[in-house]
Amino acid sequence: NAGVTQTPKFRILKIGQSMTLQCTQDMNHNYMYWYRQDPGMGLKLIYYSVGAGITDKGEVPNGYNVSRSTTEDFPLRLELAAPSQTSVYFCASSYQHNEKLFFGSGTQLSVL
Give me the residues that bind another protein (CB under 8 A), please.
4, 40-45, 48, 56, 58-59, 90, 97-106
As measured in angstroms, the least distance from the Cβ of 15 to another protein is: 26
Closer residue to another protein in complex, CB, 14/100: 100
Q: Which among 29, 19, 3 is positioned nearest to 76, based on CA atoms? A: 19
Residue 40: which residues within 8 A CB-CB, separation 6 or more? none
As measured in angstroms, the least distance from the Cβ of 11 to another protein is: 15
As measured in angstroms, the least distance from the Cβ of 75 to another protein is: 18
Within 13 Å, how many C-alpha atoms sit on residue 71's CB side? 7
